[in-house]
Each structure stands twice: as C-alpha cells, then as structure tokens.
C-alpha cells in the first residue's frame, strides 16, 4: 500500500471502522496527514487523546450533509475513505428523511467536493444490504453505490476516481449483532428473529484490508466484495452466551432472512479473484475494460453470493475463539 506523503481524510472517522482504520493506517503507511472528519465532538475529543503525540493526525468537525464544510476539509487531500452513514436498520425505517440526507445527499456532496478539490481517489464503504434491498438503509446504500460508480464519468477532466467496498456484518461494530446479544444476555434470554437466519461475518481488520486493496487496484467504478464466512444466528448466540435460553420473536421491520452481497442481476459484470469478487460498472462498456478485469475470472451467469449459499462457514467455536482474542468486540 503506497501512501507515502499522502493526505488522507476519513468521513465518519470516529465510528467503529474509523477506530480500526486510523491506527492500522498510521502503522502501515508512510503518510503525511490523516484527517478524521465527523460530527461528534465528544467522540473526537476521546479519540484525540489516543493520538496526542502524532503530528500526522488531525480532527475536523463536520457533517457530510454540509457541502461547504466538506469543501474546506478536502483542501489538499489526496485520498478519501467514506465511512459516514446512518446504518442501523430500524432507525432508518423510522427516520427515513434523515437516513436519505446522510446516505444519499451526503454521498452526492462528497462527490462534488472531491472533484472540485482535486482528490485523487475516493473509496466508499457499502453493505450487503445494498444488494436487492428490502429496507430503507439498504435502498439508500444502493443509491449511494450507484452515484459513486457513475461519478467516474461525472468527474470529467478532473480524473477523480471513485470505487466502493461492500461487506457484511462487521463483528463487534456498534449496532451489530454481537454487541447487541452481549447487551441483552444479562436478562437470561436472547431474542432471536428466526432460527434459520444467516449473516456474513467480517472483522474490522479485514474491512480495512479491503479498503487498502481497493485503493491500490481501482481504476474507478468497481465494487469490491470480500470473500467472508457466513454464520447461523443460533451459532452466534451460542458463541456470545453459551447455553442461554433463546426466544423466537419474528423478523423485525426491514430485515432479511439471508443477506446478499452479489445478486444474479450483477453476475454479467462480476469477476472472481482469490480473496474477493469485483462487480464492474455496467455503463460505458467499463465491464469489458482489461485494466479493470486484470486476472479475474468471470462468474457464471446464474451466480449469486448470499449468506445461505456460501461455501465458507464460521461455527460457534470459531467465533468463541475470535471473541477471546478480541474481548473489546463484546
């Protein structure tokens, strides 16, 4: 990962992803400056105490809804990682206007500001819920993915490149299933929506690695999908609270029984690699571009990548071992 002398900005940088991306990037990249852009002053204050002696780290209070503030923050920035989002599914269902303002209008603001300020590369974080979405959060992230892909043509002569990384449930991130189960296990009962439910599982470290790979590999318009294991929801409950009683309560508003990262409709533009898949843009013949395909193998026309048809599975014992090594994820 060549970031020598670069200035990097991460939106939503005080969230779960940012708290892993920042230390990993500072350790592994010889960058000039890393700017944490977020709207929560308390989180910034707490995070700043961790990097008091690192002159490379800067903090910038701002909201992706505010284009003028983004323009100011992106002055002399080379690379942007876009992690800011309204992401909790029930919250989005009951506050749709706010979710749209952050996830769609915020993405549009970032695209405009990045082009205007001459940013070189932008990688946006997405979610499995953006593939064939049934909830508002997924729908807004699908729209966000679409505008980031299309932005490569929109940028014109400025040549700012935009790509997307997509992955599933991030183990231990705020609002995800592991800390949720851990928070309710004291009651002696864990509520389960459906015992057949499955989810993709990815660590924050793997998420950061995928962003780094995208920054090195991207030509613009690609959606990178990490190959990661699936888990059954009952196994997750067993790993977090062994032997605990479970209660089936039914699927919540906006939830799927199984998640999907690549649908059949994307198969015609999808290529497989050792550790990931890559969905290429289906506009301007970009999906036929050898510089984007590289050494990828095109998937079958009926291919889909869902949490129930996955080849790789994580069992309860596997997650228990991971939690023992990562107790902060509970």
**pLDDT at residue 1, as a whole number:** 65
Residues of the chain with pLDDT under 50: none
List Cβ neighbours of 90 (8 Å cut-off, separation of 6 or more): 252, 253, 254
What is the model's pTM?
0.96
Is 129 noted as a catalytic residue in this protein?
Answer: yes
Dihedral through CA 148, CA 150, CA 156, CA 158, nearest 10? 10
Q: Is residue 193 part of a domain?
A: no
Q: Is residue 135 part of a domain?
A: yes
CA 67 to chain centre: 22
Catalytic position from the list 20, 67, 121, 129: 129
**pLDDT at residue 173, as a whole number:** 83
**pLDDT at residue 128, as a whole number:** 96
Contact 118, 80 (CB under 8 A): no
The whole domain housing 16 covers 7-168+201-228+260-305
Q: At 19, which CATH number?
A: 3.40.50.720
Tell me how many degrees the CA angle 301-133-129 measures, rounded to the nearest 5.
90
Contact 76, 5 (CB under 8 A): no
Q: Is residue 145 part of a domain?
A: yes
**pLDDT at residue 23, as a whole number:** 97
**Considering its fold, how many domains does the chain have in total?**
1
Query: How many residues make up the chain in this entry?
Result: 330
**pLDDT at residue 253, as a whole number:** 81
Q: Is residue 325 part of a domain?
A: no
Q: Is residue 124 part of a domain?
A: yes
**pLDDT at residue 284, as a whole number:** 78
Q: Is residue 320 part of a domain?
A: no
Contact 244, 30 (CB under 8 A): no
Q: Is residue 161 part of a domain?
A: yes
Q: Is residue 195 part of a domain?
A: no
């Amino acid at each position: 990962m060549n970031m020598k002398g670069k200035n990097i900005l991460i939106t939503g940088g005080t969230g779960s992803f940012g708290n892993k991306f920042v230390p990993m990037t500072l350790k592994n990249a010889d960058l000039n400056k890393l700017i944490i852009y977020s709207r929560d002053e308390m989180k910034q204050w707490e995070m700043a105490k961790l990097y008091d002696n690192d002159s490379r780290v800067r903090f910038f209070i701002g909201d992706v809804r505010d284009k003028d503030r983004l323009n100011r923050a992106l002055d002399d920035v080379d690379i942007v990682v876009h992690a800011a989002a309204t992401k909790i599914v029930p919250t989005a269902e009951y506050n749709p206007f706010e979710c749209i303002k952050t996830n769609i209008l915020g993405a549009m603001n970032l695209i405009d500001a990045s082009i205007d300020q001459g940013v070189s590369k932008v990688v946006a974080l997405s979610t499995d819920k953006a593939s064939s979405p049934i909830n508002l959060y997924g729908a807004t992230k699908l729209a966000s993915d679409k505008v980031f892909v299309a932005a490569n043509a929109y940028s014109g002569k400025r040549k700012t490149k935009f790509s997307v990384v997509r992955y599933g449930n991030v183990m231990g991130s705020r609002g995800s299933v592991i800390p949720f189960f851990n928070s309710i296990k004291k009651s002696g009962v864990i509520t389960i929506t459906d015992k057949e439910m499955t989810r993709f599982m990815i660590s924050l470290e793997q998420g950061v690695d995928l962003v780094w790979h995208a920054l090195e590999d991207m030509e613009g318009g690609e959606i990178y999908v990490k190959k990661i294991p699936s888990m059954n929801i009952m196994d997750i409950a067993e790993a977090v609270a062994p032997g605990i009683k479970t209660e089936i309560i039914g699927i919540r508003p906006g939830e799927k029984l199984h998640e999907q990262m690549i649908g059949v409709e994307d198969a015609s533009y999808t290529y497989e690699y050792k550790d990931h898949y890559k969905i290429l843009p289906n506009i301007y013949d970009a999906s036929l571009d050898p510089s984007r395909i590289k050494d990828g193998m095109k998937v079958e026309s009926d291919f889909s990548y869902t949490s129930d048809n996955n080849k790789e599975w994580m069992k309860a014992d596997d997650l228990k071992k991971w939690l023992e090594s990562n107790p902060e994820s509970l």
